[in-house]
Amino acid sequence: MKALRMTQYGEVDGSLEFQVVDKPSPKADEVLIRVQAASVNPIDNKILRGDFKSFSKVSFPAGIGRDVSGEVVSTGEEVTHFRPGDHVFARVGEEHVGTIAEYITVQVSHLARKPQNLSHQEAASIPLVGLTSYQALVQVAGLKQGEKVLIHAGSGGIGSMAIQLAKSFGAYVVTTTSTANVGWVKELGADLVIDYKKENYLDQLSEIDVVYDTLGGEYTLDAFKVLKPGGRVVSIVGDLDPQAAEELGLNWLIRKLLALKSRKVMKAAKAKSALYRMVLMQANGEQLRELGNLYQDNIISPVIDKTYSFEQSKEAFSYLASGRAKGKVIISMEEPATA
């Protein structure tokens, strides 16, 4: 079968190539999927650049891509809830990374049935951003009806999904975006939109219950300036808190170095009697099924910027790296490119 593979750390053009590899066979608790669509995410480009090689090195050549939607071809002997012909979607576990390929095996516990009202391209846009936001806002932050949540970068793949998810829980949603996208993110459901090109959100906000930090850097520390006492800051790009470092299984020396790096953030959290957590998204089929129900009931809608063909996969990664994507970038195995 044909698959897009990483051959080295570096930029897209020199580090990705199509290769012919053996079609995988499902283990007892896995299913084999014929890929119909996949999506690309910023983490894919970060890993390709080598941003995380100090923590976890890639053995080249290696697959790339974590989101998938497709059709079950065969199942392992322990699989009872899925059968050939089922249409499914998933955020695959790290041991199965490589969804930009003709076939992929997936751990059955990471799998959910595709919402019937969505195409495979739409379904492939959901898993990583959906599970990341669900685990950050619902599982960790415990977002409640009526609470105020600040979601940075509302027009991105994460932000556009998180706005809708927070609204489905009855939250008051504040988001930041550029001038061109103000009206669009309002249509997604944001109650207050701050144009970061014209306004400083720090001058306008206070008493925020939850800050969803999708930008990192100074934004992580600044979150505590607008947070109410006892509030929650959940980050997907900030410093690792001690609990997250432990969950990663890092050795004591690296954990100590990370603890030093995160001192300012943890001090700011303590001063506000606030929670700070760096969320490490985990593949989870049951949570994905719950998210799928929200899409099935039209409470949340998929947001797709561009769709590329399998042969145009490199172009999809380059477009995502440009930072211009408004929603998700999709790679389709079954339809001609729209980009």
207-231 average pLDDT score: 97
Identify the band that residue 76 occupies on the pLDDT scale cut at 50, 70 and 90.
very high
33-62 average pLDDT score: 92
pLDDT score of 218 more than 60: yes
What the block records as the tokens of 82 is: 């899925």
> CA-CA distance, 32 to 85, in Å (whole number)?
11
pLDDT score of 3 more than 80: yes
Comparing 260 with 219, which gets the higher pLDDT? 219
> CA-CA distance, 326 to 264, in Å (whole number)?
32
> CA-CA distance, 28 to 9, in Å (whole number)?
33
279-291 average pLDDT score: 96
Identify the band that residue 53 occupies on the pLDDT scale cut at 50, 70 and 90.
confident
Give the tens place of pLDDT for each residue, 169-188. Answer: 999 999 999 999 999 999 99
Average pLDDT, the chain: 93
pLDDT score of 336 more than 70: no
Residue with tokens 């891509």: 65
pLDDT score of 247 more than 90: no
216-225 average pLDDT score: 96
**Run of H or E including 34:** strand 30-40
What the block records as the tokens of 294 is: 């929200």
**Run of H or E including 211:** strand 208-213
3-state helix, strand, coil in the chain (%, to 5): 35, 25, 40
Identify the band that residue 255 occupies on the pLDDT scale cut at 50, 70 and 90.
low
pLDDT score of 93 more than 50: yes
- Structural domain boundaries in the chain: 2-126+302-332, 128-278
Residue with tokens 């959940």: 234
**Run of H or E including 321:** helix 313-321
Q: Tell me if the domain spanning 128-278 has CATH number 3.40.50.720.
A: yes
Name the pTM for this structure.
Answer: 0.93
Q: Is-same-fold flag (2-126+302-332; 128-278)? A: no
Give the tens place of pLDDT for each residue, 116-143. Answer: 999 999 999 999 999 999 999 999 999 9
**Residues whose CB is less than 8 angstroms from the CB of residue 59 and which lie 6 or more positions away in sequence, other chains included:** none
CATH superfamily of 2-126+302-332: Medium-chain alcohol dehydrogenases, catalytic domain (3.90.180.10)
Question: What is the Rg, in whole angstroms, of the alpha carbon atoms belonging to the chain?
Answer: 20
297-312 average pLDDT score: 96
pLDDT score of 338 more than 50: no
